[in-house]
Amino acid sequence: MNQKPVLESAGLDGWIIRLFDTIDEHNLSWLSALSRRCEQAFGDALIDLVPSYTTLLVVFDPLMVSPCEARATIYRILADLEPEDSRHAGEIHELPTWYDTSVGPELTRVAEQAGIAVNDVIDAHSQQVYRVFALGFAPGFAFMGLTDPRLECARLGTPRKKVPPGSVAMAGRQTAAYPTATPGGWNLLGRTSASLFDRNREGFSLLRVGDQVRFVPVSREAFEREGGDTTPMEPLA
């Protein structure tokens, strides 16, 4: 880590620790190490840890530890923080994905912008192994990166009112799969049959920060056998 961490107040029960200013896969080993150390140092006083691409939000019980005490604890952790090694890497997930313009209407848009064929977009997206940087926006929604730089593509100008569950999408150099039906403005490339959010699953979300993910192309027939929804996307209004 080549920059000095910055602490920002998040009210009487939280501190935001800013470790980096830019998104990079290597940030994750530092943020994971910081999360682990905070869990150990705060113990029962810890309410929540919310990692992102460059920051970690630490939420604590102000009845057990004051903001000043929490800040001092964080500074002690930062004084000798070292990145986590590969032995603490998260789980590896392969998400079966049906790439098709009927469920991934922006496949053509991304291909045209990149100056490559649709099949090349599918190859580039599916051959990359992504790391989960953060969870947010909706329960179980995992922000992953980084995609092949050729595929970098801005969000849609007009977000959809409803994106079906399992929709595989990208924006900028991030990618994700929608766990539930929600509004969304990312470029849709296809759909996965994987169950990304389940209230009966421990932790609810299939994916966790630090996990590794690969989208595995499958045929429509294989997608349907796994319970995938082949309902075509409605055109944007």
| One domain, residues 166 and 64 | no
Whole-number Å distance between alpha carbons of 26 and 54: 10
| One domain, residues 55 and 162 | no
pLDDT tens digits, 166-214: 999 999 999 999 999 999 999 999 999 999 998 888 778 899 888 899 9
Please state, rounded to an integer, the average pLDDT across all residues of the chain.
Answer: 91
Judged against a pLDDT cut of 80, whether residue 89 lies above it is answered with no
Residue (of 90, 54, 93, 89) closest to 177 by Cα position: 93
Do the Cβ atoms of 110 and 151 come closer than 8 Å? Answer: yes
Q: Give the CATH number of the domain where residue 47 resides.
A: 3.30.1360.40
Q: Token digits for 192?
A: 């996965």
How many folded domains does the chain comprise? 2
Q: Give the CATH number of the domain where residue 138 resides.
A: 2.40.100.10
Q: Determine the pLDDT at residue 31.
A: 87
Q: Determine the pLDDT at residue 72.
A: 97
| One domain, residues 102 and 200 | yes
Whole-number Å distance between alpha carbons of 172 and 153: 5
Q: Does residue 231 lie within any of the structural domains?
A: no
Judged against a pLDDT cut of 90, whether residue 107 lies above it is answered with yes
Q: Token digits for 186?
A: 């990312």
Whole-number Å distance between alpha carbons of 122 and 111: 9
Q: Does residue 12 lie within any of the structural domains?
A: yes
Whole-number Å distance between alpha carbons of 147 and 97: 16
Q: Determine the pLDDT at residue 29.
A: 84
Judged against a pLDDT cut of 90, whether residue 126 lies above it is answered with yes
Mean pLDDT of 115-130: 97
Picking from 69, 88, 107, the residue at the C-terminal end of a domain is 88
Q: Determine the pLDDT at residue 24.
A: 79
Give the pTM.
Answer: 0.78
Judged against a pLDDT cut of 90, whether residue 49 lies above it is answered with no
Domain that holds residue 73: 6-88
Whole-number Å distance between alpha carbons of 230 and 101: 11
Judged against a pLDDT cut of 70, whether residue 10 lies above it is answered with yes
Angle in degrees, CA 14, 91, 215, rounded to 5: 105
Sorting pLDDT into bands at 50, 70 and 90, what band is 217?
very high
| Higher-scoring residue by pLDDT: 97, 204 | 97
Size of the chain in residues: 237
Place of tokens 């969870």: 135
| Higher-scoring residue by pLDDT: 214, 90 | 214
| One domain, residues 105 and 178 | yes
| One domain, residues 106 and 199 | yes
Contacts of 112 (CB under 8 A, 6+ apart): none
Q: Does residue 236 lie within any of the structural domains?
A: no
| One domain, residues 96 and 131 | yes
- Residue 57 has φ and ψ, to the nearest 5°, of -95, 125
Mean pLDDT of 38-49: 91
